Amino acid sequence: MVLFVMRILGIDPGLQKTGWGIIETEGNAIHFTACGLIKTDADLTLAERLCQIDFGMQEVINAWRPEETAIEETFMNNNAASALKLGCARGVAMVVPARFNIPVYEYPANLIKKSVVGNGHATKVQIEVMVRTLVPMAGKTMGADEADAIAIAICHAHHAASRQRFGGIMAGAAR
């Protein structure tokens, strides 16, 4: 039996901090590869901060060469200006892998939480604890934003395995 091996980039987008995490899957096994943050300078204009995210994402992709990317879908909050800025950061985080011809998959927050913790309303602390349990090597260097990014990658790994098993037909994940 040949095991399917894949390197996945998970992205937790944000204008101040964009978390990223790389995992590799081999069959059902998940292995931690790397994680980090792309931080932007709050003193810069929105356009300049988006350029910082673009440059940071390019560095991550060039360094780690992921085969697929997963990102959290945008949720609407009460502050429209913040939501628009988050949408801009998310757009940049999505377009960079697309520019490298890397497929980008989107997942709603509650599906990510349910896939990793088993509860669609899990807290950030619960996600971080479960990610540290599933990929203990990540625990030494990982903060909350990196844990979220790894959780997104893990969610994608679970759903990618299902897509592979069922010939690409799967509900719940949009591409």
Q: Enumerate the active-site residues.
A: 12, 72, 145
Alpha helices in 33-169 (DSSP H): 46-64, 80-99, 109-116, 124-134, 144-165
3-state DSSP call for residue 128?
A: helix
Query: Measured between alpha carbons, how far is residue 74 from residues 14, 26, 55, 168, 169 in Å?
Result: 10, 29, 22, 24, 24
Calpha distance 25→32 (Å, rounded): 9
Q: Which residue, among 122, 88, 98, 59, has the nearest Cα to 155 in the 3D structure? A: 122
